[in-house]
């Protein structure tokens, strides 16, 4: 199987300006994901998808390929994953560079556990029905206990079809997991069918203490402390 890693690094972060290239322990944030991908013998190519010439130059210096600049219309705050993943697939196809597995590594998860790429590929190889693989961890807040506030000011469960799920005893709660940004892997066919996940996702479960998602400056401080302890 041919494997390509796509690292998305748009320039317009509002929560933390230029977040994807801010230095973490002296190294641009996106370079951690580039280095992680380059270490894997299973990966054939590592691409950074960015809308910025500045980001592109930094990515190249880290060892990534930047064969295109991402169009502005798919580099917005509300741009979801599928448009830029499909854009990368279509571009690579146009130059005759076809891959079987497309792996998404987000720059905001710089300290991911070892071996996630290999584990993702192994899951897809062993499970022909799997359309994708995603990293998950045990949810801090169980969805049964999540409430929404209605327009009239009252509260109601955000889970439908179950009577008063928020009143379930802890021992009766089904296991629940939340997605992390560590890795997502999709088959070529999944992307061609209009999705990055498809209908049959498989998990890679990581420990809660292994998860870090950088969004604010405080997250950088937590990541720097973890780096010191590695």
pLDDT 10s digits, 87-140: 999 999 999 999 999 999 999 999 999 999 999 999 999 999 999 999 999 998
- With cut-offs at 50, 70 and 90, classify the pLDDT of residue 16: confident
pLDDT tens figures, 43-86 = 999 999 999 999 999 999 999 999 999 999 999 988 999 999 99
pLDDT for the residue 135: 98
For CA atoms 211, 112, 216, 11, the dihedral sign is: negative
Q: Residue 217: what pLDDT?
A: 87
In sequence order, the β-bridge partners of residue 133 are 185, 202
Short-list 6, 53, 3, 8, CA closest to 29: 8
What pLDDT does 185 receive? 98
Please write down the long-range contacts of 189-193, taking CB distance under 8 Å and 24 or more positions apart: 189/131, 190/131, 190/132, 191/82, 191/85, 191/86, 191/89, 191/102, 192/89
Instruction: Evaluate if residue 12 carries a pLDDT over 90.
Output: no
d(CA 227, CA 173): 35
Q: What pLDDT score was predicted for residue 128?
A: 97
Contact 201, 130 (CB under 8 A): yes
Helix (H) or strand (E) holding 135: strand 132-138
**141 within 8 A of 21, measured Cβ to Cβ:** no
Question: Using an 8 Å Cβ cutoff, are 16 and 114 in contact?
Answer: no
Q: What pLDDT is recorded for position 13?
A: 80
What is the radius of gyration, based on Cα positions, of the chain? Answer: 19
Six-digit token string for 64: 């990534």
Instruction: Write the pLDDT tens digit of every residue in 130-155.
Output: 999 999 999 988 999 999 999 999 99
Q: How far is CA 182 from CA 7, 121, 175, 215, in A?
A: 11, 14, 20, 14
Quick one: pLDDT at residue 5? 98
Confidence of residue 35 (pLDDT cuts 50, 70, 90): very high
φ/ψ bin of 142: left (φ > 0), alpha (ψ from -120 to 50), beta (otherwise): beta
Q: Quick: pLDDT tens for 163-221.
A: 999 999 989 999 999 999 999 999 999 999 999 999 999 999 999 888 888 988 899 88
Tell which wins on pLDDT, 221 or 6.
Answer: 6
- Please check whether residue 135 is in contact with residue 184, taking contact to mean a CB–CB distance below 8 angstroms: yes
Percent of the chain with pLDDT over 70: 100
Q: What is the pLDDT of residue 228?
A: 82
Domains and their CATH numbers in the chain: 3-137+177-229 (3.90.550.10), 140-175 (no CATH)
């Amino acid at each position: 199987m041919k494997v390509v890693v796509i690292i998305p690094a748009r320039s317009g972060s509002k929560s933390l300006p230029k977040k994807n290239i801010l230095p973490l322990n002296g190294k641009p944030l996106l370079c951690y994901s580039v280095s992680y991908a380059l270490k894997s013998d299973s990966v054939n190519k590592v691409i950074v998808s960015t809308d910025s010439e500045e980001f592109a130059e930094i990515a190249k210096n880290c060892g990534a390929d930047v064969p295109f600049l991402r169009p502005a219309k798919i580099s917005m705050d509300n741009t979801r994953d599928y448009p830029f993943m499909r854009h990368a697939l279509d571009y690579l196809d146009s130059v005759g560079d076809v891959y079987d597995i497309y792996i998404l590594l987000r720059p905001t998860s710089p300290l991911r556990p070892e071996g996630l790429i290999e584990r993702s590929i192994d899951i897809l190889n062993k499970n022909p029905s799997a359309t994708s693989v995603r990293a998950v961890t045990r949810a801090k807040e169980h969805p049964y206990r999540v409430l929404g506030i209605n327009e009239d000011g009252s509260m109601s469960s955000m889970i439908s079809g179950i009577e008063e799920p928020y009143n379930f005893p802890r021992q009766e709660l089904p296991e629940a997991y939340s997605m992390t940004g560590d890795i997502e892997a999709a088959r070529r066919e999944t992307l061609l069918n209009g999705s990055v996940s498809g209908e049959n996702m498989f998990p890679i479960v990581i420990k809660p203490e292994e998860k870090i998602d950088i969004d604010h400056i405080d997250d950088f401080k937590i990541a720097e402390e973890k780096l010191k302890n590695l």
